[in-house]
Amino acid sequence: MKKQIISEKEEFNSILPEYGRRKLLTYADSIRELAESFKETDHSREYRPEETDTDRRDYIWQKRLNENKDLMVEHLQEMAQIMTQLAEESRRCVPMGERRFKQISHALREVDIQLKNLYLIENEAGRLEVSLTIRNLKKITLSAEEIGDLLSVLLNMRLVSAQDNAFFVGSDWQTFYFMEEARFHVLTGVAKAVKETEKISGDNYALFETETGNLTAVISDGMGSGNKACNDSTMVVELMQKFLEAGFQIETAVQMINSALLAGGETTNMSTLDLCSMDLYSGECHFVKVGSAASYIKRQHLVDRISSGNLPLGIFQKPDMEAVGRTLMDGDYIVMVSDGILDALSQGIGEDMLSELIGSTNLENPGEMANAILNFCIHQSRGRIRDDMTVLVVGIWKKED
């Protein structure tokens, strides 16, 4: 398929013009130099037992200052790396052959869309993208999704609209991007219960795409309950989404969020983090856990339990992260829960029963599965809800060819 479309004149081109690329690399070098200047600070002083209380306070203050400098160095280096990757990112851009271009141009003109440019682009992952510059000649509106459907037929490949495309094709020239459709699609379901003495849950979750074909699920359980716990877990979830969408690596995002929690001063701010990132092209998924409850992958009646033994965010300067990778298959389910679910089971038959429950269920709808797990756990604790409870289920299926 790809060999029929890509010509022999294909070349790798930088996404950015040369001037913009050089400028971005200059910014990256400046940020690296700034990071090096922080690293050059000498903080080798050691505490001596004979020192006075004032000396000890100075030592503690200096130690915290140096730890913050170390964090600043890591964050600056990550920013420089992101800039460098963007500047050096290249695509295999292929101008459309004249005959094929005219055929597509004529087909688009039939729906009152004028075509200016069309390129096939092979990205660094080897997947095809389509870039086209078009405008609408009539008042009848067409969406980017409808254009993608038409291109899918014309190019004989399944295409989906990129996330940052405009929703409709306007009367001015606009450039739209379309990606090869992912191999897998997902359905999700969530069930929640609020602690019986509270009005608001201390658990929060999010499901979002950092880029086309990558789904990330996050659950955070704020320590305690009520507004304070809700505010802490909300910050964790929202910052994680913003950092990942901005291009930060997961490990750096976790470190930055941990720093934000520690910045609360005298007030203790602690939250768990349970994250699962899924590549819907390859089926690869990665779990990152910081103080969170176990997660589960259900494959028919077999269940893979993924647990961690580390502490929540907001305790240490450097959080202890546990990362685990798995390969998903058609029909798999991912089950993520907050601590309240396992606490409810510990009041009765024990949390080990959860793996058995997940493996034995024949429910296929993720929402129904999440509700069944929640109701079972509430029943096991005799109807009492002693802690906030959240169940998030993601079902993944291979798309038909």
Q: pLDDT per residue over 201-254, tens digit each?
A: 999 999 999 888 899 999 999 988 889 899 999 999 999 998 898 778 898 889
Mapping DSSP to helix (H, G, I), strand (E, B) and coil, where does residue 397 land? Answer: strand
Per-residue pLDDT in tens (0 to 9) along the chain, 401 residues? 343 343 334 444 555 556 666 777 787 777 777 777 666 555 555 555 555 666 667 766 666 666 667 777 777 777 777 778 766 666 667 666 788 889 999 999 999 999 998 888 877 777 888 989 999 998 788 999 999 999 999 988 899 998 889 999 999 999 999 999 999 999 999 999 999 999 999 999 999 998 888 999 999 999 888 898 999 999 999 999 988 987 788 988 898 888 878 776 555 678 999 999 999 999 999 999 999 999 999 999 999 999 988 899 988 878 888 999 999 999 999 999 999 999 888 765 666 789 999 999 999 999 999 999 999 999 988 888 989 999 999 999 998 86
Beta partners for 297?
304, 334
How far is the CA of 113 from the CAs of 132, 133, 296, in angstroms?
11, 10, 48
- Residue 286: what residue type? H
Q: What DSSP line would sit under 235-264, residue for residue?
A: HHHHHHHHHHHTT--HHHHHHHHHHHHHTT
pLDDT digits (tens, 9 = 90+) for 131-176: 899 999 987 889 999 999 999 999 888 999 988 899 999 999 999 9
Instruction: Output the pTM of the full model.
Output: 0.79
Q: Rounded to whole angstroms, how far apart are CA atoms 288 and 322?
A: 6
Helix%, strand%, coil% for the chain, nearest 5: 35, 30, 35
> Quick one: which of 274, 266, 190, 195 has its CA closest to 229?
195
Q: Rounded to whole angstroms, how far apart are CA atoms 234 and 275?
A: 14
Answer yes or no: are the C-beta atoms of 70 and 318 closer than 8 Å: no
